Structure 1
Amino acid sequence: MVELLAPAGSREALIAAVESGANAVYLAGNMFGARAYANNFDEDGLRWAIRFAHLRGVLINVTVNTIVSDEEIPAVRDYLRFLYEAGADAILVQDLGVAKLARETVPDLPLHSSTQMTVHSLEGVLALQSLGFTRVVLSRELSLKEIRHICANCSVEIEVFMHGALCVCYSGQCLMSSMIGGRSGNRGRCAQPCRLPYTLVDENGDDVLGSQAGNYLLSPRDLNTIDIIPELIDAGVASLKIEGRMKRPEYVATVVGTYRGAIDTYYAGEGYKVSEQSRDNLAQIFNRDFTTAFLLNRPGKNMMSDRRPNNRGLLIGRVSGYDWDKRIVTVKLSGTLSLGDQVDFWVKVGGRVTATIQELWDAKGRNIESGAAGDTVSFAIPSAVRDHDRVFKVYDASLMEAGKEMYASGAPVRRIPISATVTAAIGKPLTILLDDGKGHKTSASTEFIGELARKRPLTEETVQKQINRLGTSVYELESLTITIDGEVMIPMSEINEARRKAVEQLDELRLAEFRYPKRQLEALQETRPLPAKTASLMVAVDSVAKLKAAIDSGADGILFGGESYAHKAIALEDYQQAWNLAKAAKVRIDFNLPRIIKENHQKSIEKLLVAWQETCPPDAVHVHNIGALALVKRLTKLPVHADYSLISYNKNTLAFLREYGVAEATLSPELNLKQIQEIAKESALPLTCIVHGRLELMISEYCVTGSFLGGVDGGACTQPCTKGHYALKDRKEARFPLVMDQYCHMHVLNSKCLSMLPHAMKFAPMGIAMRIEAKAMTEGEIRHIVKAYRKAMKLPSELDEAQEAWVKEQEGSEITRGHYYRGVL
């Protein structure tokens, strides 16, 4: 049976998840979890959570899925040991350095790859499978067809999301929160800039959408797969996951309970049906409207909640009248409304009006507790509304109360049925046998030896009453067999103590099932050649013309290809021409792979790799995820460079990459200069840092222009990205350029250009190569900035007034130092 995996950001949410029918729960401790702003669990809380869940046969997976700094490695090591000793069933990781640490420290603790690892292909799944991972959480951008293909061709467990909030960017690839506000999503502190308003503007700064779209152009709807649960199960996934560690326990209870019912209905084999009540419950508890994301098709604008980034509730009627004097509204209901509910009116002017229902009147003015669909009701509201304004119920008091009952009663909701056998006789202790029907049997006896009763002999009724006193234990008595031989007397306290011991023993037997199997992990230690050439100043370009500009102005290394910012395919002939030009100029030439390589594009990439090795072998191939890394290793003997999106944030990750056969690495742009200096002193690999250019803040399967201008949802896109240049403008008038590559992935670039020009001379002494990201530049801009860096590299580390003035003139005004001098939270 497929696993129903629920989130828990608090003790109450954990109880709600388990009592509502989850098979497993994922949660975090106070450190190293990708939802740092949830309540989370301290060490005592984690021990309690693991025991609570295990007694009920539920697994606990702990997220350790942030990238970590070198300073944090000792604490991570201690934390992993604690989780192992506490009995966590698995850990989820993003950082390959943490995965290496886990292999060394707690080799038997099962490893799950977080969706933050951006695993989106069979190649990536098989790579992690060979590394000893027991489960892979796939990227949310995959289709059912792709999921089915992966499940059919691997032996590792596959986990997919089935409900909850979506990221617009591929998880693990987003730098937007980090670069804008210093709060890193990769370190669990995402500020959700995708939920803020943006305007799509052309190169003149003019709004190109107007009223045809809302302002929340990066805000996806919530995932809802209630209608395709059979297809997901049939695809072969091991675990269906609900997103929501920041959500309140009532949300967890409602969503888990609804999907529990749906999954059980499917396995009952009597035809899969979803009730309207189930649909309403999911919508009512929280929704930004719903989508199946990319599971069934490319939904385009229909995936986005562009007019509202937060809970929209459930439509329950329209305004039919408003009393201006009394501030009483009359509503014709299309759904239920009760006392204690909260509603939002979507008014035509001024946004929305919110009211909590404290009194409710029917059409005749009588006080009522609730109204049903078709009724006309009235209630007080604080502000004016108009006829035909829509009314949404955003808080359902009865649904919240039902959710609360799943965690707040103090007694178990779902109990484990057990059978008991009790025997008593004169001259013998009373014995209690318990059996949970799952192979766990326990026995406990009284210390008191049965005596002949003088007044009140033991009766079956008395025994049943004492055995039934299971109180807040997780068990309920399903059957009881009692044998009393003679008129025997046993004190009630002795019976109670024997029952308590038997229950404790049963607890321990059930808990003992959760033990780790021994695992054999594959040794790594693969050596690959280093690139034949080194380069102090690399320039990343996507066309031959830009390559020429970079070489002519002094670049001693070129990173060519990968994605085209001009939405054009980069053919083998382009790579061969680039290689010939670089070789003639005696500069280093690396080839880049796309950041995302889905199954439908992999064959063409495989052909490129083979052709590169045979006809134009680059000095290194740059890879951006574990799948691409494995692909290059499988098909070529070329040196591999782990680029910045295969995140290297600590020395442990660099050590892992070296052992896995990587020759070089580009460090994460979220590191500060001090951290970079420390890493460079002991790095297992030669290093590069990005020092200039517009950093990619997001890469997305969703495209704003294709969705709202190109008609993606209607079939083939008209490719507006080839007819003009577009950007997203935020509330502060900052413009984030948009580029669409040849695979129709949208890249959101930073509004400001990273520049370390005044500090260019500091990298070579650290032994670090510099890289200019020039794909978003013109040839003229490339010539200008490469020459500037060549000159700046020769300047002293302390600039005089004239040199500082020259640097400012070269850089321009719209620049940022990124995280070099501030780092991230």
Structure 2
Amino acid sequence: MVELLAPAGTWQSFKAAVESGANAIYLAGKNFGARAFADNFDEEKLQEAVEYAHLRNVAIHVTVNTLIDNNELPALADYLIYLYNVGVDAIIVQDLAVAKLAQKIVPDLPLHASTQMSVNNLSSVKMLEKLNFTRVVLAREVSLKDIEYICQNTSLEIETFIHGAICVCYSGQCLMSSMIGGRSGNRGRCAQPCRLPYTLVDEHDNDLLEEFEAGQYLLSPRDMKTIDMIPELIKAGVSSFKIEGRMKKPEYVAIVVNAYRNKIDSYYDTSVTYNKEQTDKELSQIFNRDFTTAYLANRPGKNMISDRKPNNRGMLIGRVQEYDYNTHLAQIKLSDDLSIGDKIDFWVKVGGRVTTNVADIKLGKNSVSCAHKNDIVTIKLPAHVHEHDRVFKVFDINLSEKAKTYFNTSDPVRKINLQMTLQASVDQPVHLSLVDDDNISVDIASEFIAQAALKRPLTYDTVQKQMVRLGNTIYNLHQLTCSIGENVMVPMSVLNELRRQGIEALLAKRLQNFERPATVEKLNIKKDFFTHKNNHTAPTQLFVAVDTVKKVAAAVKHNCSGVIFGGDSYTGQIISNNDYNKAISLCHNNITAIYISLPRILRQNQMDYIDTLLNNIAVDNIDGIYVHTLGQLHDVQRFCQQYDMNIPIWSDFSVNIFNNISLNVVKDLDISGVVLSPELTLQQIKNITSQACLPTEVIVHGHIELMVSEYCIPGSFLGDVASGKCSRPCQNNHFYLKDRKNEHFPVITDQFCHMHILNGRELVMLSHLPDLSASGIDRLRIDGRYMDCNKLDKIVKLYKEVLAKGKYHKLFQNNNMLEEAEGSNFTRGHFFRGILSND
């Protein structure tokens, strides 16, 4: 049976998840989890949670899915040992360093690849097989067809999200929160800038969606709801269904888990009742931003976006028929139930929202506790509304009370059936055998020797009265069998003690199923992973990333060390094989290294792009290839093996290399060099490069990509993507997202129709080049894809000169010249301000 995996950010949510039907829970400790703003579990509470879950055959998966700084590695090692020793069933991982450490320290602890690893194709899954992962959480962008294909071609367990909030960007690839406010999603502190208002404008600041009556929340996805697709997902071979929501209330967890539990059970057992109408109503009521199945069936375009409201919209329950401005009384015709204690939200035509807690309901002249569909009720409001305004119920008191039955009681809701057999004969110890539904059994014998009864012999009813008293244990007495000799006397205290001992022994035996071998001794992090000393003496090289042949010419004009050509086309035009070959020739003619870049995102049906490209360009004449994912690495290495070639492969910034252990991992995968994470500070970079086992590169100039998404705003609202054929408005205009502070973020659509949102401020590190070149970094990159040729020409020339002359360059003798060269609307990225820590 497929696993139902539920979220828990608090103890109440954890209990709600277990008691409402989850097979497994994912949660976080106080550190290293990607939801740092949830309450999460300290060590004592986590140990309690593990025991609580294991007694009920529920697994615990702990999120250790943030990027790890070098200084945090010793604490991480201690934490992994702790998790192993308390018996967690798996850890969910983003950083390759966590996987490496876990395999060394606690090799019996299963590894799950987090959705933060952006796995969306079989090749990436195959690489994770090599890295000894046991499960992969696929990106939410993967289609049902591709899920089935992946499941059929891997031995790993495949986990997919089925309900809850969606990231508009590929998870693990978003820098928007960190670049804007220093709170990184990769470090567990996403500020959710996707839920803020934006306007799509052109280069003249015209609102391009005004006539379409689009809302302002252009990056705010609807919530995922796949309950009607559960049979198809089960048939596809998915091992685990994941519900999002570690920041959600326990009521939400209880209702959602219970709904999917019933749906899953009804698939496997037709006798299980599943009420679709009631379930859909409850899922909508407990929380929704409207619903979507994301990319499972198609590319939904704007139909995936909740552009008018970024938070819970509740359920439509009626409209205002009349409103009295003097008394503030509103008459509402109901289309659904309303009760005292509910909370309702009026969508006012002019003036936003009016919200009130329902304290009094008038039906005619009478006060009532509840009213029903088609009733016309009167309610007093705190502010003005208008006739025909829609009324939404955003909190349902009755549904909340139902949800609380799963976590507001000391007694277990989910009980395990138990069979008991008691044997009692004169002059013999009393025997009690217990067997539960999981076929776990124990036999207990009393020290007491049964005696002949003088007055009241033992009867079945007497035994049952004592054995049924199981209190708040997880057990329910399902069947009692007694074999009682003639005229036997056994005191009630003996029966009670037998029952108590039997239950204790049974519980202990249940926990034994989760025991593991003892851990090995803790590693010495520095000794085992930081043995390499970088004696870097070669001059720092300057590489330039471009996407057109004309820009290649501009880059090589001033003797840059190398060009990174191709990948994502910021023009939206296909980069042809002829373009690649021209770029290769240009670089060779100018004695400049040429590296080929692959696109940042390749879906399953796009993975043949790699073989097609490499088979049709002068691959013998390239100096290397940059890959963005483990899957791309897999396919490039397969190509090289097939043709007996040795092409150096560099991992690009999307791989999120954040520490030296991750460097070790990719070196073992035969990577030749790495682009470090753009979220590292200069000091962190120096710490890495001082002991780097591979050459390193950092991006020092250009508009940093903040998001990459399957969803495209221009295509969705202007090009009608949802129809299945986009008119490609990206080819005829320049687009920007304007935020509340009037910052303009360029919106780019590449040749694969992926949307790239760039930072509105250009990264400029010109004045810090001397320090950067002395820091041990091997390559500095200018990202020229968003520049025109004239600007790129000037930037490359300037950087090349400053690298050559260092602090003696004339720019450093004249502050006005330096300021003019750098401009005004720029950023230093994270080189100096960094991002918030995991703790």
TM-score (norm 2): 0.94
Matches within 5 A, 1:527-542: 536-542=541-547
Deviations 1:722-755 (A, max 9, x none): 0010000000000000110000000000010111
- Is 2:802–2:809's contact at 8 Å kept on the other side of the alignment? no
1:350 paired with 2:351, answer yes
CA displacement at 1:800 relative to structure 2: 8.4
CA displacement at 1:766 relative to structure 2: 2.4
- Is 1:15–1:406's contact at 8 Å kept on the other side of the alignment? yes
Q: Which residue of 1 aligns with 2:524?
A: none
Q: Which residue of 2 aligns with 1:812?
A: 823
Q: Which residue of 2 aligns with 1:675?
A: 684
- Is 2:540–2:773's contact at 8 Å kept on the other side of the alignment? no
CA displacement at 1:675 relative to structure 2: 0.7
Moved more, 370-379 or 727-736: 370-379
- Is 2:812–2:818's contact at 8 Å kept on the other side of the alignment? no
- Is 1:226–1:274's contact at 8 Å kept on the other side of the alignment? no
Moved more, 664-673 or 441-450: 441-450
Q: Which residue of 1 aligns with 2:744?
A: 735
- How many residues are aligned here? 811
Q: Equivalents in 2 of 1:305, 1:165: separation in Å?
A: 11
Evaluate the alpha carbon distance shift between residue 428 and residue 69 of structure 1 in structure 2; reply closer, same or farther with a 3 A threshold. Answer: same
- Is 1:340–1:357's contact at 8 Å kept on the other side of the alignment? yes
Which amino acid in 1 is paired with 2:797? K
CA displacement at 1:616 relative to structure 2: 4.2
Evaluate the alpha carbon distance shift between residue 202 and residue 274 of structure 1 in structure 2; reply closer, same or farther with a 3 A threshold. Answer: farther
Matches within 5 A, 1:22-33: 22-33=22-33
- Is 2:262–2:272's contact at 8 Å kept on the other side of the alignment? no
Q: Equivalents in 1 of 2:226, 2:517: separation in Å?
A: 34
Q: Which residue of 2 aligns with 1:691?
A: 700
- Is 1:576–1:616's contact at 8 Å kept on the other side of the alignment? no
Q: Equivalents in 2 of 1:484, 1:408: separation in Å?
A: 41
Q: Equivalents in 2 of 1:304, 1:151: separation in Å?
A: 29
1:593 paired with 2:598, answer yes
1:210 paired with 2:210, answer yes
Tell me the SS of whatever aligns to 2:172.
coil
Moved more, 653-662 or 486-495: 486-495
Q: Which residue of 2 aligns with 1:339?
A: 340
Deviations 1:205-256 (A, max 9, x none): 1111115200000000000011111111111111111000000110000000
Q: Which residue of the other structure, out of 777, 789, 797, is the alignment partner of 2:799? A: 789
Q: Which residue of 2 aligns with 1:477?
A: 477
Identity %: 51
Tell me the SS of whatever aligns to 1:191.
coil
Evaluate the alpha carbon distance shift between residue 260 and residue 774 of structure 1 in structure 2; reply closer, same or farther with a 3 A threshold. Answer: same
Q: Which residue of the other structure, out of 765, 777, 780, is the alignment partner of 2:787? A: 777
Which amino acid in 2 is paired with 1:555? C
Matches within 5 A, 1:9-158: 9-158=9-158
Evaluate the alpha carbon distance shift between residue 343 and residue 600 of structure 1 in structure 2; reply closer, same or farther with a 3 A threshold. Answer: same
Tell me the SS of whatever aligns to 2:385.
coil
- Is 2:610–2:635's contact at 8 Å kept on the other side of the alignment? no
Matches within 5 A, 1:267-286: 267-269=268-270, 275-286=276-287
Q: Which residue of 2 aligns with 1:824?
A: 835
- Is 1:728–1:736's contact at 8 Å kept on the other side of the alignment? yes
Matches within 5 A, 1:238-257: 238-257=239-258
- Is 1:579–1:616's contact at 8 Å kept on the other side of the alignment? no
Tell me the SS of whatever aligns to 2:97.
helix
Which amino acid in 2 is paired with 1:328? L
Which amino acid in 1 is paired with 2:353? R
Q: Which residue of 2 aligns with 1:549?
A: 554
Tell me the SS of whatever aligns to 1:298.
coil
- Is 1:550–1:786's contact at 8 Å kept on the other side of the alignment? yes
CA displacement at 1:688 relative to structure 2: 0.5
Evaluate the alpha carbon distance shift between residue 683 and residue 797 of structure 1 in structure 2; reply closer, same or farther with a 3 A threshold. Answer: farther
Q: Equivalents in 2 of 1:718, 1:237: separation in Å?
A: 35
Q: Equivalents in 2 of 1:797, 1:110: separation in Å?
A: 55
Matches within 5 A, 1:435-454: 435-454=435-454
Deviations 1:168-217 (A, max 9, x none): 00000000000000001001100000000000000111111115200000
CA displacement at 1:455 relative to structure 2: 4.6
Evaluate the alpha carbon distance shift between residue 236 and residue 380 of structure 1 in structure 2; reply closer, same or farther with a 3 A threshold. Answer: same
Q: Equivalents in 2 of 1:539, 1:762: separation in Å?
A: 19
Which amino acid in 2 is paired with 1:814? N
Q: Equivalents in 1 of 2:516, 2:728: separation in Å?
A: 52
Tell me the SS of whatever aligns to 2:112.
strand
CA displacement at 1:615 relative to structure 2: 4.0
Which amino acid in 1 is paired with 2:578? E
Q: Equivalents in 2 of 1:361, 1:156: separation in Å?
A: 59
Moved more, 261-270 or 250-259: 261-270
Q: Equivalents in 2 of 1:498, 1:100: separation in Å?
A: 48
Q: Which residue of 2 aligns with 1:622?
A: 626
Q: Equivalents in 2 of 1:496, 1:271: separation in Å?
A: 36
- Is 1:450–1:490's contact at 8 Å kept on the other side of the alignment? yes
Q: Equivalents in 1 of 2:498, 2:269: separation in Å?
A: 39
Matches within 5 A, 1:387-398: 387-398=387-398
Matches within 5 A, 1:264-413: 264-269=265-270, 275-362=276-363, 364-413=364-413
Q: Equivalents in 1 of 2:137, 2:271: separation in Å?
A: 30
Evaluate the alpha carbon distance shift between residue 799 and residue 71 of structure 1 in structure 2; reply closer, same or farther with a 3 A threshold. Answer: farther
CA displacement at 1:369 relative to structure 2: 1.2
Q: Equivalents in 2 of 1:293, 1:746: separation in Å?
A: 16
- Is 1:121–1:150's contact at 8 Å kept on the other side of the alignment? yes
Q: Which residue of 2 aligns with 1:528?
A: none
Deviations 1:138-169 (A, max 9, x none): 01011111111111111111111000000000
Which amino acid in 1 is paired with 2:653? Y
Evaluate the alpha carbon distance shift between residue 57 and residue 290 of structure 1 in structure 2; reply closer, same or farther with a 3 A threshold. Answer: same
1:573 paired with 2:578, answer yes
Evaluate the alpha carbon distance shift between residue 290 and residue 435 of structure 1 in structure 2; reply closer, same or farther with a 3 A threshold. Answer: same
- Runs (5+) with no aligned partner, structure 2: 520-537, 641-645
RMSD of equivalent CA atoms: 1.9
CA displacement at 1:516 relative to structure 2: 5.6
Q: Which residue of the other structure, out of 752, 758, 763, is the alignment partner of 1:754? A: 763
Which amino acid in 2 is paired with 1:633? Q
Matches within 5 A, 1:418-497: 418-497=418-497
Q: Equivalents in 2 of 1:518, 1:138: separation in Å?
A: 32
Q: Equivalents in 2 of 1:599, 1:517: separation in Å?
A: 39
Deviations 1:6-35 (A, max 9, x none): 111111111111111111111111111111
1:763 paired with 2:772, answer yes
Which amino acid in 2 is paired with 1:548? A
Q: Equivalents in 1 of 2:264, 2:820: separation in Å?
A: 64
Q: Which residue of 1 aligns with 2:814?
A: 803
CA displacement at 1:424 relative to structure 2: 2.0
Q: Equivalents in 1 of 2:573, 2:517: separation in Å?
A: 50
Evaluate the alpha carbon distance shift between residue 348 and residue 541 of structure 1 in structure 2; reply closer, same or farther with a 3 A threshold. Answer: same
CA displacement at 1:777 relative to structure 2: 0.5
TM-score (norm 1): 0.96
Q: Which residue of the other structure, out of 559, 562, 565, is the alignment partner of 1:560? A: 565
Deviations 1:505-546 (A, max 9, x none): 111222222256999xxxxxxxxxxxxx99611110001101
Q: Equivalents in 2 of 1:804, 1:662: separation in Å?
A: 41
Which amino acid in 1 is paired with 2:586? L
Tell me the SS of whatever aligns to 2:30.
coil
Moved more, 265-274 or 87-96: 265-274
Q: Equivalents in 2 of 1:249, 1:141: separation in Å?
A: 27
Deviations 1:649-683 (A, max 9, x none): 00000011111110000110111111111111101
- Is 2:560–2:796's contact at 8 Å kept on the other side of the alignment? yes
- Runs (5+) with no aligned partner, structure 1: 520-532
- Is 2:166–2:223's contact at 8 Å kept on the other side of the alignment? yes
Tell me the SS of whatever aligns to 2:446.
strand
